[in-house]
Chains A and B, each alone.
Chain A
Amino acid sequence: MKKRFSPFPFALGIVLLLAFACGSQQQAVTFESEDDLPGKRVVVQTGSVYDLELSARTDIQLFRCNTATDCIASLVSGKSDVYKDDEVLLSPEDQRRQGIRWACRGEDAFPCGFAFRKDDVELVEQCNAFLADIRDSGLYQEIYDRWMTMDSEARPHMPDDILVYREGVPIRVASSSSTAPMGYQIGVGEWEGFEIELLKRFAASVKRPLEIKPYDVAAGPAALQTGRANLWVGCIFITEERQEQFLFSHPYYECHSAYFVKKENSSSKGGWEAFKQSFHKNLVEENRWRFIVDGLWETLILAFWSLVLGTVLAGVVCWMKRCRYQWVRKICQIYISLMHGLPVLVLLMVMFYVVLADTSLSATLVAIISFSMVFAAYVGEVFSSAIDSVGKGQTEAGIALGFTPLQTFIFVVLPQAIKRILPLYKAEAVSLFKNTSIVGYIAIQDLTRAGDVIRSRTFDAFFPLFVVSVIYFLLAFLLGKGLDLLIKTKRV
């Protein structure tokens, strides 16, 4: 019996997703000033100062999201009433497009600075000298005016007269900015914005190259402390607590907080028109499809090499599990239970920020190693039990014919074991492929992250997610089918 892929359940899923995206209209919330806060559902970015500030209050319900985009999505979908963040985060144009509006200014204002490691005194002094210089020369005001007055579709451009140094030790920047006008990507690894221009000019002034990697607000401190980055940027407020951990440059910007709410009766076009508009905005404008293509490539590279290395490691695990020395088996057992007991994400972070923090291995390599380790633990056990399931008599028959134990394994046991392995191997491979979607946490721009980057530029909560999920689904489907084909040809 041949089962054919039916597009209908899939189409149903799309319809439901779109309905969810366009539907969910909720009643407007009255919010005029900070006094209206009690009883509200407030959303903030995880780890931001507002998170610290508001989590002490008991009269509100606090939600945390990792990125500004998610916060806006939460607001728009009616999961929260008010969103507190930096005032500068959303231009009036962005607010209009998103169907949210500025409600009121918060009382607090924070100086923002670049954060450095405690022992990086020299770089801080250089940075402070640079900031003082540009304030004196009026360049700072020029930069400020260029980016901060941005309130229409006409986006300012990074001046192209800034010197770029390619030789020397790079300043590695962990950027928690992802939105205009502070710092955002217009292409993979192509950054723009107020903070970015400051940093580029600073790097030019000390004649060093600049490397910028995206990190969540919550991941920034770890990147700095473990030496993955020299400098952390992204509207980082200079607070006393943070000063205990980091060195800060002089403030380069004073940031006010603001409350945003959902716009009353925001008229959203529905149906095909809305879809076409989303398509254009999220993929065509600024060639944003390139994020998707590059992210997809990264995901494929990750999945492929993890699969290859993981399979090889699984062989090693299998060998260790069946080794004649008890201590080897013991080590193997500990390794397997460790891999079974740790969430993949936690393992990935531990590997990146702790175990392999001091090495120069790239994040992609660290991710491949981590995924292979988990894959090997699971698949190694599968290998081993498949070998066990090939009867002892088969080995004896091979030996009795004059084969060496190794030849017997290769010609007799392995071909039989592989047939039994394949169905489980397929399941693990597909799950490995999907698991790669968490690498955004260690600053790799994979497919999932590509969706996030687009979302942070367009503030469209749903369309990029939708595109990404369609691609994941199709690839997982194809991978599964491909392995099925392999299983069929192996079965006689």
Chain B
Amino acid sequence: MIEVRHLSKSFTSPEGSVIQVLRDVNCTIEKGEVISIIGPSGTGKSTFLRALNLMDPPTSGEILLDGKDILQKGYPLTELHQRMGMVFQSFNLFEHLSILDNVTLAPVKLLHKTRKEAEEEAKLLLRKVGMADKARSFPDNLSGGQKQRAAIARALAMHPEVILFDEPTSALDPTMVGEVLSVIRQLASEGLTMLIVTHEMKFARDVSTRIFFMNEGIIYEEGTPQQIFETPRRSATKAFVQRINKLLFEVDGPDFDFFNMYSKMSRFCIKYNIAGKMDAIDDIAQRMAQGILRDYRPLTVRLTHSGMTEVTALDFMIENLATSPFDAEGFDRGCLEVIRAQSKEIIEEPTTRGFRIKVLV
């Protein structure tokens, strides 16, 4: 359906130097495919997506849509855009229109539907994304997740053959990521062709038929989610998908600023979209600190999160300790109960330097 050949794009920076964002992108996209585009920041994922519907036209190359090169002069752009819908990171709902009017504007003006027809269909679409009760609201009065769901309904109203999602959850508060991903997941199951630029690894793995891993301006590796996430062939891919995000603290004495540590952990949770685990992590860290620090042993605290496996762990490495601090007499029983309640699993093991407690959240 879409065939991309030797696509490249370069910008001239304000200082005059040429920046090559896309070097040589080649790929084929078939009808019904759901493709997630992942990769480190600044490797041209969004640029590639925006080049596809000529929002930012590429410098050279070919994009064949059903065999016709859309980069040829005279290709009808409005038709292209009607066939290729787009959902933006910043929603871009029309601020002067109600949600219903946002959805009906294009069908009425471009598909020449009557107002009544368009509104009936819009209501169905809004119901599908769970926004039917907000049809009369204005974008200003909605949360980010609601706005993005409305924006998806707006794109669907034109019956596009492909929808391009440009980081649809990156501008959202972590608590709202889930509702938008569910909507996209549902669309994927209905066989709509989609290209999704995303940082949500688990979502990408669950929903996609294929993954493009972009790096250094090319599609560095592509394959099924299984191939990319479990048996990546190239080292850069492997490093990216198995990457584990870490946060490390050395507690060196009673003067350590624990409150700073808690707040950094909260920000870590927001950054990696695990806000749901924020309370548990906070509870565990505080109770552990209370329990262990009676006798002020040097301690290393490590918070880790893997985007692919979605495993989050809190490690406490206590130096010069041979037995579990939980067994020590001074450890508050109340604290221990809270820690047990908040965790999925607790691993206690002695190490060469002391004792380690790993709490999975």
Contacts and interface: CB of A to CB of B under 8 A. Distances in A.
Interface of A: 391, 393-394, 396-404, 407, 411-412, 415-416, 419, 492
B109 A397 contact: no
Contacts of A407: 109
Given A394-B92, A394-B95, 18 more contacts: A393-B91, A394-B94, A396-B55, A396-B88, A398-B94, A399-B55, A399-B81, A400-B55, A400-B155, A401-B81, A401-B110, A401-B154, A401-B158, A402-B78, A402-B81, A407-B109, A411-B105, A419-B96
Nearest to B97: A415
Interface string B79-90: 101100110101
Contacts of B90: 393
Contacts of A397: 86, 88, 92-94, 151
Interface in B61-80: 77-79
A403 B94 contact: no
A115 B158 CA distance: 76
B138 interface: yes
A401 B85 contact: yes
B106 interface: yes
Contact of B109 (A394, A403, A416, A492): A403
Main secondary structure of the interface of A (DSSP, over half): helix
B198 interface: no
Contacts of B106: 401-403
Contacts of B88: 393, 396-397, 400
B53 interface: yes
Interface in B83-131: 85-86, 88, 90-96, 105-106, 109-110
In the complex, which of the residues A391, A393, A400, A411 has the most CB atoms of chain B within 10 Å of its own CB atom?
A: A400
B6 to A, nearest CB: 25
A-B CB proximity, top 8 nearest: A402-B82, A397-B92, A393-B92, A400-B86, A401-B106, A402-B81, A416-B96, A402-B78
Interface of B: 53, 55, 77-79, 81-82, 85-86, 88, 90-96, 105-106, 109-110, 138, 151, 154-155, 158
6 contacts: A397-B86, A400-B85, A400-B88, A401-B110, A403-B109, A416-B96
B361 to A, nearest CB: 37
A398 B78 CA distance: 10
A402 B110 contact: yes
B110 A403 contact: yes
Contact of A401 (B79, B82, B138): B82
A474 to B, nearest CB: 34
A308 B154 CA distance: 37
A405 B154 CA distance: 18
B78 A411 contact: no
Contacts of A401: 81-82, 85, 105-106, 110, 154-155, 158
Nearest to A404: B78
B107 to A, nearest CB: 9
A404 B77 CA distance: 8
Contacts of A391: 92
A252 B266 CA distance: 100
A398 B155 CA distance: 11
Nearest to B54: A399
Contacts of B82: 401-402
Contact of A400 (B81, B93, B109): B81
Contacts of A393: 88, 90-92
A492 B96 contact: yes
A378 to B, nearest CB: 25
Nearest to B84: A400
A407 B158 CA distance: 16
Nearest to A417: B96
B78 A412 contact: no
Given A400-B55, A400-B86, A402-B78, A411 B93 contact: no
A412 B139 CA distance: 14
A403 B85 CA distance: 12
A415 B90 CA distance: 20
A180 B85 CA distance: 79
A400 B151 CA distance: 12
B163 to A, nearest CB: 10
Contacts of A412: 94
A407 B106 CA distance: 10
A208 B235 CA distance: 101
A402 B107 CA distance: 10
Contacts of B105: 401, 411
A407 B105 CA distance: 11
Contacts of A404: 77-78
Contacts of A400: 53, 55, 81, 85-86, 88, 155
In the complex, which of the residues A393, A401, A403, A492 has the most CB atoms of chain B within 10 Å of its own CB atom?
A: A401
Contacts of A411: 105, 109
A324 to B, nearest CB: 16
Contacts of B138: 492
B28 to A, nearest CB: 23
A403 B106 CA distance: 8
A419 to B, nearest CB: 7
Contacts of B154: 401
A8 B1 CA distance: 75
A412 to B, nearest CB: 6
In the complex, which of the residues B55, B79, B96 has the most CB atoms of chain A within 10 Å of its own CB atom?
A: B96
A415 B92 contact: no
A244 B241 CA distance: 95
A399 B81 CA distance: 7
A407 to B, nearest CB: 7
B305 to A, nearest CB: 31
A492 B154 CA distance: 21
A397 B151 CA distance: 9
Contacts of B78: 402-404
